[in-house]
Structure 1
């Protein structure tokens, strides 16, 4: 009964068959001629039949050797493909990411990061799902998503949660608005002006309400929106002043469609990273996260 074959034996066999001589096979394998001869002898003992006829100092392949070579070549093609895939994984030329993000980051910021990341790693496929922060938490808890970007207040046993960046809400207002003369906006400054509120289902809305109440002020709400992006568009259309997360404010202000101003006192805001707790992050996920964090810090440092 044939014994188990070693990869090294098959390498030696293939090298002798393709190069024609033991000396040349030894050069190919970067080893010695006696080593190749021993590997061939071990292989013959393992398969139970003669692979080469010895004619003086030469080896002549038998018909059985030719038949075996066909299968060995197929195996080596498979190994070559495995090696190629492994190299692609090592060099970030293949793989996939599934990301869930809150709208404040997923509508503009994350697409820009994804575009930059894929430009450097064109073989990587990324899927982005846009959800509320609470839904992002549920997505990541399923262990099917690689990364989640959100602003949540509750923990989940299946999710690792950590601050990604800490900043503060900012006011967005039409570029010609009278309050553009102010370097910072207070609740008193905003009292006589139309205000754009976040929807009551948004956790940040509560922080804004507390901020106004702490200063004995009630904003003149003329409209509200669930998403920062929609609130920015209302401000750009001249409807009033609203508070949004800092990334939404700063990216919108770069277009010149709105102005932005800090609040006094500040309303803290934290972007958080969510990761599945039951599995380790992939190399691609870690690499993407490093880029996203660098770009987020750059936006918030302006």
Structure 2
């Protein structure tokens, strides 16, 4: 049970949320700025998590503070109930996570991570939106999403973009294919081979074309698709061979439906993590990212 939680601390917290300034909250409650700061500091110590970000003279509530404020406003009665909410937030028994992800990660990789996450934290509600990388960027710029996963070459002033994992693109081929005897494929291996290509509008397509041009290889393009999963399905059905991003290729390879080989020279592919720039990641989001990092590591160990 939480200790030292007082009605005055909750009043101070509520006043700071509503005024946006410690000085204004002090005026509302008829006390001093140091007194308000001390009550907020004591409340944060008792709660076990930060309630505000300090930027100059202004303070901005953390996601955890907003979750607590909803309960304070709804009830503002009974310290026992408010104490329970604080404990729920601190111990991950209350909260939500809104994620947008590119299809390459949102079809299999992220659902696997989400399943592991909710098994550990059953009180957290997770929502996943599968979108193109550019749409993921737009979603995160709205500041309404907690996390985004994409592959981008562009930035947005309202979004923090940082690499989360990089690995080489992989060749995929049907089971029993003639090239299966090779440990890695080179550009010349694709010459005159039936080939399933990414759509011309996909950025990685030009990089793959450049890879093939190093040996003047001219594969016979028999089909095109926007999604790596669609390409791998056609490969598994025997329509041809292809080159796709590493996560999807690895999952299909592990399923035993296609053969997967690295490329020489390597064609790197980077997955980006997107965060809303105007607020810090919540404790729930940070915990989820730990599982994402672990999943990337273990997937490519196999």
- TM tier, shorter chain? 0.7 to 0.9
State whether structure 2 residue 98 is matched by structure 1 residue 98.
Answer: yes
Secondary structure, counterpart of 1:301 in structure 2 = coil
Q: Within 5 Å, which residues of 2 pair with 1:164-243?
A: 164-243=164-243
Judged with a 3 Å threshold, the aligned counterparts in structure 2 of structure 1 residues 76 and 101 are, in CA distance, closer, same or farther, namely: closer
Q: Within 5 Å, which residues of 2 pair with 1:1-302?
A: 78-302=78-302
Q: Give the Cα separation in 1 of the matches to 2:7 and 2:266.
A: 66
Q: Give the Cα separation in 2 of the matches to 1:7 and 1:190.
A: 72
Contact kept? 2:167, 2:246, Cα under 8 Å:
yes
Deviation at 1:77, TM superposition (A): 7.0
Secondary structure, counterpart of 1:97 in structure 2 = strand
Deviation at 1:207, TM superposition (A): 0.6
Could you list the per-position Cα deviations for residues 213-243 of structure 1 after superposition, in whole angstroms to 9, with x for gaps in the alignment? Answer: 2321222110011000100100100111111
Q: Give the Cα separation in 1 of the matches to 2:217 and 2:295.
A: 36
Q: Give the Cα separation in 2 of the matches to 1:294 and 1:246.
A: 16
Judged with a 3 Å threshold, the aligned counterparts in structure 2 of structure 1 residues 76 and 152 are, in CA distance, closer, same or farther, namely: closer
Deviation at 1:301, TM superposition (A): 3.0
Q: What is the Cα-based RMSD across aligned positions, in Å?
A: 1.6
Judged with a 3 Å threshold, the aligned counterparts in structure 2 of structure 1 residues 194 and 157 are, in CA distance, closer, same or farther, namely: same
Judged with a 3 Å threshold, the aligned counterparts in structure 2 of structure 1 residues 94 and 206 are, in CA distance, closer, same or farther, namely: same
Q: Which runs of 5+ in 1 are unaligned?
A: 1-5, 9-74
Deviation at 1:78, TM superposition (A): 2.5
Could you list the per-position Cα deviations for residues 108-149 of structure 1 after superposition, in whole angstroms to 9, with x for gaps in the alignment? Answer: 000000000000100100000001111111111111110000
Deviation at 1:297, TM superposition (A): 1.7
Secondary structure, counterpart of 1:264 in structure 2 = coil
Secondary structure, counterpart of 1:122 in structure 2 = coil
Q: Give the Cα separation in 1 of the matches to 2:256 and 2:215.
A: 31
Larger radius of gyration: 1
Q: Give the Cα separation in 2 of the matches to 1:271 and 1:260.
A: 19
Deviation at 1:192, TM superposition (A): 2.8
Secondary structure, counterpart of 1:269 in structure 2 = strand
Judged with a 3 Å threshold, the aligned counterparts in structure 2 of structure 1 residues 181 and 95 are, in CA distance, closer, same or farther, namely: same
